[in-house]
Structure 1
Amino acid sequence: MLPVENAQTIAQLFANAAREYADKPAIEDGGQIISYRQLDQLRQQAARALLALEVQVADRVAVWAPNLWEWIVAAGALQSVGATLVPLNTRMKGSEAGHILRESGTCVLFCISRFLDTDYPAMLVGEALPALREVISLRPVDQPQSGLAWEAFMALAERVPDALLQAREQHVGPQTLSDLLFTSGTSGKPKGVMTAHGQNLQVVRDWSEIVGLRRGDRYLIVNPFFHSFGYKAGWLAALMRGCTIVPQQVFEVQAVLDCVQRERINILPGPPTLYQSLLAHPQRLDYDLSSLRIAVTGAAAIPVEMIGRMREELGFATIVTAYGLTEACGFASICRPGDSAERVASTSGRAMPGVQIRCVNSSGASVPANVPGEVLIRGYNLMRGYLNDPQASLEAVDAEGWLHTGDIGVLDEHGYLRITDRLKDMFITGGFNVYPAEIEQTLLQYPGVAQAAVIGIADERLGEVAMAFLLAVPGQVIDVAKFTTWCREQMANYKVPRRVQVVEALPLNATGKVAKQVLRGWV
């Protein structure tokens, strides 16, 4: 058997971790303690249950739930039988989730029954999902009207002998697709990013080593499991290094402070808003946060002063910033422990091992150090392509293997990257990528809206939030309050415009496209 760090598939990672870390706690979730040995047993049981449901290699299996121990078991199980994980954002509405389930051809869905007063299965009623054969309810409030409760699903494993699972695992290798994460683009249509077991494990291994995760560390994962941060830099990295995963379903400052003190948390990654909220909490000094050691952040600019406060007031010995894209397994560059506060605050670090980063001009030629250019990435960590979209795949990764990120950045003499702008209009709200084109397509469905343009505007707490400019159909009047209520019913909260302005005309450039730089000047 290979060491944990040398696992070539996620099933091997679970199995090797069980052997190496045995009865050490792998997950502590709401009073339930699951050891590494028990976690692997649960993973195998769920994998055999999926075989009973006739899940095949390369089938798509989705998980639509907050951070729960069952999420990790379900993901490890489906990846063990060669299926591809399709994580769904818990903030999605039914139509948004339905689109991804259809596009991916998902055949089995693990779904929370209720979360934050939302009935998730009910949101899919009326959605055409021809490939979906089974829905498994996690923590059902009562007996599900259709599909299987988690316990009934796990009981299916009795029909499948261990030997069949072992045989299936032989068909899963480093090149087998492990996940299909959907990310929107400037076209507004979400694209499925395909990545494989081997490349994800390698980048997680390198990330964990740089950050300094240790056996026995207690890792509070607030970042959602459906995002590569909470999934790959989260529970996957924790399992690789023998940490104890403490999942939290919702970011609530008081709950984080309580958990850090009670559970003696060592690792607490998150977007800058997480640390800003902790520093601003009026009762923070009443808590013992001395166990904290590692913070990993990114997705937004950070003041140098905040890095100092994180070290002095929150007690972090290691603070690093990072940059990544779903198309690069979530990882591209990262600061190193020991980097100065100025470097951590002003850059996203330097390239991960085995990864190349360069900045180019509009002709594709590399620009000198400290000169802005489009950020290009090349390495083993690049996606296998976009699902069912070879043209977009060719446009994203050129013939020499460089991923064109659409981000504008500056590389200094030491290879440290600073993201300065975006070729695309994408902006980040509280750690979530927000794509204006996707929102605009939804806004055009509102009665009376002739044109819509969305930009990101500064927000003290969330970094940036959406602002919508609307042009009404002649003779129609748009009630902004009613429009905003409608938006909240149609899309995830982080996409909902926080400001709405109805205009007489939208500024257009020579090609007839909305001149968003002019809109930004109106704010």
Structure 2
Amino acid sequence: MPILRLQALYSLNFPKISRLLTHPARCNYPAQRALHIVIPGNGPSWPETHLTESYIHNPSQIPFLSTTLGRLIEYQARTIGDRVGFVVAFQNIRKTYAQFSQDASDLANGLVSLGLQPGDRIGIWGTNSYEWMVIFFAASKAGLILVNVNPAYKVPELEYCLNKVQMKAIIAAEGVGPLNYYDYFQKLHPEIHNSAPGNLQSTRLPHLKHIIMLTKTPEKFPGTYSYDAVVSMKRQDNVREVEKRTKLLQSDDAFNIQFTSGTTGTPKGASLSSFGIINAAYFCGHRLGAMTKTKAMVVPLPLFHIFGCVGNLLISCIFGMKCVLPSPRFEPEAVFKAIQDEECQSISAVPTMFRDLVNHPNLANYNLSSLNVALMGGAPCPPELLKALNEKLGIKQVAAGYGATEQSVATFFGILGDPAEISTTTTGYPLSHVEAKVIDVDGRIVPIGEKGELCTRSFGTMLGYWDEEDKTREIIGPDRWMKTGDLAKLTEKGYLKIVGRAKDMVVRGGENVYPVEIENVLLEHEHVLDVHIHGVPDDRLGEEICAWIRLHDHAEMIKARDELETALTEFVRKKLAKYKSPRYYIFYESPLDIPMTPSGKVKKFELTDMAKTRLGLGGKTTFQSS
């Protein structure tokens, strides 16, 4: 059934709403809240759902938000303007909602002065910073389409991204780690140092006219503007133009382009609307108890990623929380200090980050007693990690979620209070207004509990891949059902279990083997810190199973390698069928040994090629992960 957009009931264009809808008999509105939002009271820990087939729709009486980021931040500035909402520890910055909104308006004014027109694409290229957050909202106020550029991109990736979306301007940091971004620009435009700022003429970058550097030493970057210089270009006669653009931008218009990780082929630019990302953040925030359980959120995730900018920054803004950036990139001790200093109640991260936090040698030096909620993306919370989060970080409630860039962040999220057997084996229950189904190869819905491809239909589904209609039609049908490419099962209560990526599946002697199932078992072993499973060629069986293992105490454990491999194999066979036990083990010491996409996904096809070389196996890689 089509999703109804109750926009007229929920517009932020007027100050009061005469009637708010919520779950019947569960109204429990707080005395103060940042928006005219609906805050449901505490409900049961899990829904009373009993499915017989793998289709679910989670209807809701909570209406949608119909607004844009520019109007959203202006509303917050008017209503809770004196509340501190943005803290960047490493830059020593603390800003109220009113100050932040003004900073976004000033930057939007400067961008208008550069001659950028509504609908022009502007990129942001850099690690987490206060300026990154300002740009996110300033682009909306100026009517521009913001393009998130991965900080790890090299020259070919940058060139592809700039030209694919015909980027008119880009705001860039000086670099990250050993990467010097200005050097990259020089390779693409050798005459940049002789060019006048704002008038770039490059054969390789024909659409790019403005490079704006996040720097305090602009003299080092000829041919570019500095961020501060653009802000200083604001003019009084542009104030009305910014106000006009803020009002004219529609919530259904394209606002944000985020490139998929692209473990195979070139990345695709997912075009997202304000309506999609704002409501994705809004309903995630509801599910996670935002406003009622959380006043401050620490954000170690990269903002360029959908989980960072929508699943953290935007949730914080909608619910009037304090968003705390501890460091430009993930640093465990910076996270600890931010939690301690700002008394953060919630933290969002991926499982690898959480493992680094709970195993950090200096953890005991910090007071983390304020923490009570952990949000985990990308996978269920393994039992051993759930226990460690509770015992070492004092976190009592953990919710795992499932989503993708193409879904504006998430379509499933756990319910706080779920029992451990649910939070450690599933990635949540559908968000409000979301439909989901699991289908077989013929497109038919499978019985409950059977494996198949997960499809979703929701308000957050992307508008499409930028300038790639054929690629869009491959995954989104005319009925707006989106094929995720993930193999999954639904429980009778409607919770999601991800089995693996369709292209990650190992076919061993005719048996389908799903890597995530083996990975979850090995993570329960006392010596295993992290694991990655994939297939390698085998003359007799077609494929065999290979496990890359990172140990808690590598130097000591590796001395008895043969015994360790035997113990790991026996451990797997006690819990899974014999054919699912790995044939090969490769032990590694550092996360840097594992090839990853810029957004942190394992490149399993590269891992397979690396394993074939190490193990002396022939044949070609039989699958690739996307």
| Bin of the TM-score, shorter chain as denominator length | 0.7 to 0.9
Secondary structure of the structure 1 residue equivalent to 2:346: coil
Q: Which residue of 1 aligns with 2:321?
A: 243
Cα deviation, residue 185, structure 1 = 4.6
Q: Which residue of 2 aligns with 1:26?
A: 85
Matches within 5 A, 1:53-72: 53-72=114-133
Cα deviation, residue 174, structure 1 = 0.9
What is the alpha-carbon distance in structure 1 between the residues aligned to residue 428 and residue 601 of structure 2?
27
Task: Write the letter of the residue equivalent to 1:129.
Answer: L
Deviations 1:128-181, CA, capped at 9 Å, x for gaps: 211111111113444231211111110111264311111222320111111011
Cα deviation, residue 100, structure 1 = 0.7
1:361–1:350 Cα change, 3 Å: same
What is the alpha-carbon distance in structure 1 between the residues aligned to residue 428 and residue 174 of structure 2?
40
Does 2:622 correspond to 1:515?
Answer: yes
Equivalent of 1:413 in 473, 488, 492: 492
Moved more, 363-372 or 2-11: 2-11
What is the alpha-carbon distance in structure 1 between the residues aligned to residue 305 and residue 484 of structure 2?
18
1:277–1:311 Cα change, 3 Å: same
Equivalent of 1:205 in 282, 288, 299: 282
Does 2:336 correspond to 1:229?
Answer: no
What is the alpha-carbon distance in structure 2 between the residues aligned to residue 290 and residue 417 of structure 1?
31
Matches within 5 A, 1:288-303: 288-303=367-382
Q: Which has the higher contact order (CA 8 A, sep 6+)?
A: 2
Q: Which residue of 2 aligns with 1:217?
A: 295
Q: Which residue of 2 aligns with 1:131?
A: 207
Q: Judge conservation of contact 1:361–1:373 (CA < 8 Å) in 2.
A: yes
Q: Judge conservation of contact 1:112–1:140 (CA < 8 Å) in 2.
A: no
Q: Judge conservation of contact 1:48–1:160 (CA < 8 Å) in 2.
A: no
Larger Rg: 2
Deviations 1:221-248, CA, capped at 9 Å, x for gaps: 1110100010001111111111111112
Q: Which residue of 1 aligns with 2:414?
A: 335
What is the alpha-carbon distance in structure 2 between the residues aligned to residue 408 and residue 250 of structure 1?
32
1:151–1:274 Cα change, 3 Å: same
Cα deviation, residue 461, structure 1 = 8.2
Does 2:94 correspond to 1:16?
Answer: no
1:505–1:359 Cα change, 3 Å: same
Task: Write the letter of the residue equivalent to 1:36.
Answer: Y
Does 2:408 correspond to 1:347?
Answer: no
What is the alpha-carbon distance in structure 2 between the residues aligned to residue 173 and residue 26 of structure 1?
25
Query: What number of residue pairs does the alignment pair up?
Result: 467
Does 2:237 correspond to 1:155?
Answer: no
Q: Judge conservation of contact 2:346–2:371 (CA < 8 Å) in 1.
A: yes
Task: Write the letter of the residue equivalent to 1:515.
Answer: T
Matches within 5 A, 1:6-405: 6=65, 8-29=67-88, 30-127=91-188, 128-143=204-219, 144-158=221-235, 160-185=237-262, 187-214=264-291, 217-247=295-325, 248-405=327-484
Cα deviation, residue 202, structure 1 = 1.3
- Tell me the C-alpha RMSD between the 2 structures: 3.0
Secondary structure of the structure 1 residue equivalent to 2:67: coil
Cα deviation, residue 308, structure 1 = 2.6
Matches within 5 A, 1:444-523: 458-460=548-550, 499=610, 501-502=612-613, 506-507=618-619, 514-516=621-623
What is the alpha-carbon distance in structure 2 between the residues aligned to residue 74 and residue 373 of structure 1?
40
Secondary structure of the structure 2 residue equivalent to 1:342: helix
TM-score normalised per structure 2? 0.70
TM-score normalised per structure 1? 0.83
Cα deviation, residue 204, structure 1 = 0.9
1:343–1:108 Cα change, 3 Å: same
1:122–1:459 Cα change, 3 Å: farther
Q: Judge conservation of contact 1:136–1:147 (CA < 8 Å) in 2.
A: yes
What is the alpha-carbon distance in structure 1 between the residues aligned to residue 318 and residue 599 of structure 2?
32
What is the alpha-carbon distance in structure 2 between the residues aligned to residue 414 and residue 361 of structure 1?
20
What is the alpha-carbon distance in structure 2 between the residues aligned to residue 92 and residue 138 of structure 1?
17
Q: Which residue of 2 aligns with 1:450?
A: none
Cα deviation, residue 108, structure 1 = 0.8
Cα deviation, residue 298, structure 1 = 2.3
Cα deviation, residue 119, structure 1 = 1.6
Percent of aligned pairs sharing the same letter: 24
| Residue segments in structure 2 that go unaligned for 5+ positions in a row | 1-13, 16-34, 38-64, 189-203, 506-514, 520-531, 535-544, 553-591
Cα deviation, residue 184, structure 1 = 4.2
Q: Which residue of 1 aligns with 2:560?
A: none
1:258–1:28 Cα change, 3 Å: same
What is the alpha-carbon distance in structure 1 between the residues aligned to residue 380 and residue 546 of structure 2?
15
What is the alpha-carbon distance in structure 2 between the residues aligned to residue 185 and residue 495 of structure 1?
11
